[in-house]
């Protein structure tokens, strides 16, 4: 089976559904419908808003978990300016300068949606002497709404209020050369990887070796996504982006296996097992240290979940900015997670 074709089929559905942290209803519906199409129905939504799929294993001695986070970076209306533009606050940690010029959608609490553009507050070269030099930070970015609004009152009449989500365009593209260019490959690339692993289990009529909980987490970008995973799990392999740059080994073609991130080392034994599986299956993999990085394993551990924890994922270039990976990195991630679930 050509799993790249399946990735190309599901990626637009996942990437083009806005899901900034805390606004997960739509992406949950997309994931549930893909899971249902694959024949998985044992899905629950937790109070905190994570989706969890339970799959019975061949053997009940152990419960393992895997996860990817379906939430993304985003923006929220902080206040409405007197000229009818919006001031925004960040949700998670987007690279603010990369947002200048991005198309976006403002979603109101009563379900209306308006388009707009994120711009510098000195947006015109012919008017503002600091149009080129003004910092592109959240204090100096605005949203221009594509409606005839000239005042704060005009904006309020549209139904837009403080606290409304502003979702910016992921610009998802898959090139002929096999690159996935998009915002939010962190971590929707991994969501697609896990869905493909679940398809492969069905195609090959395999059960995972142990009882398996698959989490689609919705608050990872703000640090506490997987803090409420089940206390029953013995092992937790989260799938999240691999870092690329500087002296790191990670790249856009390989699956990264993290030995350590900002929260310290991952579980030595579980990480070693994953490295050995990657070697055994001759996967393109690297072992790496992620310098400025936290994951859902840290969230689970800080919450007191007593499990071994490890992290794998496709190498992503320019993370939290205009990201890119190659489908090969996602395929290597799929192969590693699949072998972990059926063999170890």
Q: Which residues bind Zn ion (CB under 5 A)?
A: 186-187, 240
- Least Å distance, CB 320 to Zn ion, is 9
CB 239 within 8 A of CB 196: no
Strands (E), 27-124: 43-45, 51-55, 59-69, 74-80, 86-91, 103-107, 113-120
Q: Please list the alpha-helical segments (H only) found in the chain.
A: 3-15, 25-38, 152-158, 185-203, 268-280, 296-302, 327-343
Q: Is 162 helix (H, G, I), strand (E, B) or coil?
A: coil
Name the catalytic one among 54, 176, 204, 220.
220
- Nearer to Zn ion by Cβ, of 164 and 187: the residue is 187
- Nearer to Zn ion by Cβ, of 243 and 278: the residue is 243
- Least Å distance, CB 316 to Zn ion, is 9
- Least Å distance, CB 321 to Zn ion, is 13
- Nearer to Zn ion by Cβ, of 233 and 311: the residue is 311
- Least Å distance, CB 187 to Zn ion, is 4
- Least Å distance, CB 2 to Zn ion, is 27
The token duo for 41 is 């129905």
Rounded CA gap, 101 and 108, in Å? 22
- Nearer to Zn ion by Cβ, of 164 and 240: the residue is 240
Our measurement of the distance from residue 267's CA atom to the centroid of its chain's CA atoms, rounded to an integer in Å, reads 23
220 in catalytic set: yes
Q: What DSSP line would sit under 19-33, residue for residue?
A: -BTT--HHHHHHHHH
- 242-243 vs 308-316, strand pairing mode: parallel
- Nearer to Zn ion by Cβ, of 210 and 326: the residue is 326
- Nearer to Zn ion by Cβ, of 85 and 219: the residue is 219
CB 196 within 8 A of CB 35: no
Q: What DSSP line would sit under 169-230, residue for residue?
A: ----EE-TTSEEE-TTHHHHHHHHHHHHHHHHHHHTT---SEEEEEEEES-GGGT-GGGG--
Q: Is the dihedral of CA 304, 44, 234, 264 positive or negative?
A: negative
Rounded CA gap, 341 and 338, in Å? 5
First-residue to last-residue Cα distance in the chain: 23
- Nearer to Zn ion by Cβ, of 187 and 235: the residue is 187
- Least Å distance, CB 131 to Zn ion, is 33
Q: What positions carry a catalytic annotation?
A: 220
């Amino acid at each position: 089976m050509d799993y790249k074709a399946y990735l190309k089929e599901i990626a637009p559905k996942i990437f083009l559904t806005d899901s900034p942290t805390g606004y997960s209803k739509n992406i949950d519906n997309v994931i549930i419908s893909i899971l249902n199409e694959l024949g998985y129905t044992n899905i629950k939504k937790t109070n905190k808003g994570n989706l969890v799929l339970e799959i019975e294993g061949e053997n009940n001695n152990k419960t393992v978990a895997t996860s990817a986070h379906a939430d993304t970076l985003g923006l929220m209306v902080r206040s409405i300016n007197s000229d009818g533009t919006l001031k925004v606050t960040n949700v998670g940690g987007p690279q603010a300068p990369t947002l200048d010029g991005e198309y976006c959608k403002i979603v109101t609490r009563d379900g209306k949606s308006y388009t707009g553009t994120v711009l510098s507050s000195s947006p015109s070269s012919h008017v503002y002497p600091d149009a080129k030099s003004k910092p592109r930070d959240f204090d100096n970015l605005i949203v221009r709404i594509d409606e005839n609004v000239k005042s704060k009152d005009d904006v309020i009449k549209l139904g837009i209020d403080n606290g409304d989500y502003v979702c910016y365009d992921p610009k998802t593209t898959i090139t002929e050369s096999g690159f996935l260019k998009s915002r939010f490959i962190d971590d929707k690339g991994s969501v697609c990887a896990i869905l493909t692993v679940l398809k492969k289990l069905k195609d090959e009529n395999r059960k995972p070796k142990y009882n398996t909980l698959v989490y689609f987490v919705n608050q990872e970008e703000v640090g506490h996504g997987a803090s409420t995973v089940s206390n029953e799990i013995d092992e937790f392999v989260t799938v999240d982006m691999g870092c690329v740059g500087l002296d790191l080994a990670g790249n856009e073609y390989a699956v990264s296996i993290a030995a350590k991130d900002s929260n310290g080392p991952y579980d030595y034994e579980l990480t070693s097992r994953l490295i050995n599986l990657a070697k055994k299956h001759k996967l393109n993999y690297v072992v790496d240290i992620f310098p400025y990085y936290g994951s859902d394993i840290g969230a689970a551990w800080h919450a007191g979940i007593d499990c071994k924890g490890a992290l794998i994922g496709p190498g992503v270039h320019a993370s939290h900015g205009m990201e890119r990976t190659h489908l090969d990195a996602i395929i290597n991630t799929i192969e590693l997670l699949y072998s972990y679930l059926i063999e170890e």
